[in-house]
Amino acid sequence: MSTTLFDSPSFANHEGVHAFFDEKTGLRAVIAVHSTARGPAVGGTRMWNYATSAEALEDVLRLSRGMSYKNAIADLEMGGGKSVIIGDSRAQKTPELFAAFGRAVDTLGGTYYAAEDVGVSVEDVAVARKVTPYVLGLKDGPEASGDPSPVTAEGVFRSTLVVARRLWKQDDLTGLTIAMQGVGHVGGYLADKLHKAGARLVVTDVNTELLAEVAARTNAEIVAPDAIYDVKADIYAPCALGATLNAQTLDRLTVKAVVGPANNQLATPEIGEALFARGVLYAPDYVINGGGIINVASELRARQAGGAYDPAWVEAKLGRLMETLEEILERSATEKRPTDQIAAVIAEARIEAAAAERDARRRAA
Ligand code: NAD
């Protein structure tokens, strides 16, 4: 390992970092618990063919911290954690491996809850669920929250309306052109909603079959994948990959706002500053794509209370998330700071307040 844990650039006072090895199944996994100040650490499990264990460690440290911020911004009583399984999800996945992973999660006794992420499906999570209660994102059962994509799309759609009201003083999307990169699970639902609200869509995807289908039902114009950055649009909606806001694309984009569900859209924090300097309103990704984790949180809540999935609770949390977005946009304008920096300040304040409360409770006990 070229870096050790404590001098890793991604180490941010994590509460715990746990490595697991199971000889029989070949499981090599790391679970990082960044913070439990607001509740149990919740975040997905990524199965990826990392070249080195140092790379896996970096990823899990970075992602788990990101979950603390995302969960705090969505005002959920959950901390941040994440796990990685080192391996090729297409070649090395077995039920035995996920049972071994479930046992690993179980040893943490509920400090961390796992869920789906890249390379890990609902079926894999269901295998782990047989050996531990500490997994979320189930498909079946009264508490199951199912596919998070429609709720993620709803959050991004409402965020687009918030931005349209702010920039163009209008309550729908009539007359606005939106360039969408990716029309998969979230992008597909989002395209329908944007179209219905009056937007003109220009879409792209590397899956040409899916693209043709979505374009046909939303009356959208199709462009080649790389041409999406050059579209004369009002809003760019990244719904596929991370880091598409970078030094190469910045000069090509002519939009007034970026509003989309993709994770980690800014290649570097400097890109957030550059967008702000150019007057482009960037709706921070982990704020506006929080619908999915809100949906997952409802499952945890149902589990803890012994109840069922509650759509009214999800709706209330989505409403609160939109208020937080409005606060971020307002503060960004008055404090003259990029939106992603304001979002981080709010998330950190919420985490610190919860940690202070927890410390006070511990002292009183
Ligand atoms: P998905 O895999 O269903 O959809 C992604 C789409 O992007 C696919 O159709 C794919 O073909 C397309 N794509 C890939 N590379 C492309 C390229 N170079 N150019 C154009 N299109 C390309 O994934 P999803 O669940 O819809 O998630 C989309 C994004 O939103 C991801 O970044 C994901 O991390 C993020 N996100 C998703 C959720 C959720 O609830 N699913 C929640 C939060 C964040």
In single-letter form, the type of residue at position 297 comes to: A
Q: 3-class DSSP state for residue 173?
A: coil
Q: Is 60 exceeded by the pLDDT of residue 191?
A: yes
Q: Give the distance (Å) from ligand 1 centre to CA of residue 261.
A: 8
Catalytic residue annotation: 82
Q: Which residues pair with 236 in a beta bridge?
A: 179, 258
CB of 94 shorter than 6 A to ligand 1: no
Least confident of 2-11, 71-80, 111-120, 182-191: 2-11
- Smallest CA separation from ligand 1 atom 35, residue: 262
CB of 244 shorter than 6 A to ligand 1: no
Distance CA 361, CA 133 (A): 27
Percent of the chain whose predicted confidence (pLDDT) is above 70: 99
Distance CA 273, CA 237 (A): 19
CA-to-CA dists, residue 293 to 67, 266, 343, angstroms:
9, 20, 17
**What is the rounded end-to-end Cα distance, in angstroms, of the chain?**
41
CB of 181 shorter than 6 A to ligand 1: yes
Domains and CATH numbers, the chain: 5-65+78-136 (3.40.50.10860), 150-289+324-347 (3.40.50.720)
Q: Give the distance (Å) from ligand 1 centre to CA of residue 203.
A: 13
CA angle in degrees (0–180, nearest 5) for 43-60-148: 25
CB of 76 shorter than 6 A to ligand 1: no
- Smallest CA separation from ligand 1 atom 33, residue: 262
Distance CA 318, CA 105 (A): 29
Rounded to 5 degrees, φ, ψ at 282 are -100, 115
Rounded to 5 degrees, φ, ψ at 301 are -60, -45
When pLDDT is cut at 50, 70 and 90, the band that residue 1 belongs to is very low
pLDDT single digits (tens) 156-166: 999 999 999 99
